[in-house]
Structure 1
Amino acid sequence: MLTYRGTVYPWHCDHMGHMNVMWYVGKFDEATWHLFNAIGLGPAALRAAGRGMAAVEQRITYVRELHAGAVVSVTTVVNEVHERKISFTHEMRSDDTGELAASTTVLGVHLDTTQRRACALPPAVRAAALELTANAN
Structure 2
Amino acid sequence: MEQEATDRGTVYPWQCDHVGHMNIMWYVGKFNEANWNLFARLGLTPSYPRGSGRGMAAVQQNVTYKRERLAGDIVGIRSHLLEIRDKSIRFRHDMANAETDEIAVFCEITVVHMDRSQRKSGPFTDAIREIAMRHLAEPAEA
| TM-score, normalised with respect to structure 2 | 0.92
Unaligned regions of 5+ residues in structure 1, if any?
none
CA-based RMSD of the aligned residues comes to: 1.4
Tell me: CA distance 1:124–1:60, structure 2 relative to 1, closer, same or farther (3 Å). same
Residue 113 of structure 2 is matched in structure 1 by 110
SS in 2 for 1:128: helix
Residue 76 of structure 1 is matched in structure 2 by 79
Residue 91 of structure 1 is matched in structure 2 by 94
Count of matched residue positions in the alignment of Structure 1 and Structure 2: 137
How far apart in 2 are the matches of 1:117 and 1:104? 25
**Equivalent of 1:26, from 15, 25, 29?**
29
Q: Which amino acid in the other structure matches residue 57 of structure 1?
A: Q
Q: Which amino acid in the other structure matches residue 84 of structure 2?
A: V
SS in 2 for 1:4: strand
Question: Contact conserved, 2:82 with 2:137, CA < 8 A, in 1?
Answer: no
**Equivalent of 1:131, from 130, 134, 141?**
134
Residue 12 of structure 1 is matched in structure 2 by 15
Identity between Structure 1 and Structure 2 (%): 46
Q: Which amino acid in the other structure matches residue 7 of structure 1?
A: T
Counting helix residues as a fraction of each chain, which structure ranks higher? 1
Unaligned regions of 5+ residues in structure 2, if any?
none
